[in-house]
Structure formats: structure tokens, C-alpha cells
Amino acid sequence: MRSAKLWVSALAKSLEENDLAAKADLDELVGLLESLKKPDPEVFLLKSRVEYSLGNYSESLSDLDKFRILLASSSRYNTDEKNHLCCYGDRILEKLRRIYSPAKNYQYDGDFTKVNLRKTRKYIQRNFPL
């Protein structure tokens, strides 16, 4: 229950562009989920975007890495949803590559030409808009 409240709070604060407060919620959520051994790719994807917005480029890239690893092994998403989330991550990576040289070694994972909104759950589209 606590994790759901933290997630909703982090999403709301992120939408309000209150990234410092969103980061606090996400940091607490990551700790909670790790203690439960239930890491969530979406948490790391949002955290990557928030860290980028705060200028924490190393942390942003690290969170993007964690997102990719977790997403690859997740059975929670269909192929179209995985692609959608990867495309959102690629937008973060694109920005990182322009200003943070270690990010230039990373390849893009998504394929924007194959985004299929009809086969992607609405909450993913809402939380991670393309």
C-alpha cells in the first residue's frame, strides 16, 4: 500500500514539474521495492527522467540502465508496451547523449515506427507520453 501511495505521489509531483519532491518519493520507493525484492522498471524509468531534469546525469543514465535490465526480463508487458517504454527511455537517452559523454556509448532500444497505442495500456501512455 505504501508503495502505491509513493508511486502516485511521485507521478503527480513529476507532472507538476516538482522534480525534487518527485525524486524524494522515488528514492524512498526504490528502497522499499528493493527491500521487498520487487524492483519495478517503470519506477526506474521515471526516476531517470527526474534525475535528468535535476541535472544528475550519471544517476539518470544508471537508472535508465536498471530500467532496461528489468524491462527485458519482465513478463508484465506485451511487446508493444515494451517498445513504448523503450521509446520513452530513448528520448531521455537522446538528451543525455547531447550533454553527457558516457551516454554516447549507449544504443537506442525502441522503434518509434512500431509504436502501437491500441495495444499499449492507457496508464502507460498517460504516465510515459511520447
- Kindly report, residue by residue over 5-57, the tens digit of the pLDDT: 999 999 999 999 999 999 999 999 999 998 888 889 999 999 999 999 999 99
In this prediction, residue 64 carries a pLDDT of 98
Site of grid cell 530500467: 67
Pick the CATH number of 2-127 from 1.20.1070, 1.25.40, 1.10.155, 1.10.3210: 1.25.40
Cell numbers found for residue 90:
530513448
Site of grid cell 508503495: 3
> What's this model's pTM, rounded to 2 decimal places?
0.94
Residue boundaries of the structural domains of the chain: 2-127
Torsion-angle region of 55 (φ positive above 0: left; ψ -120 to 50: alpha; else: beta) = left
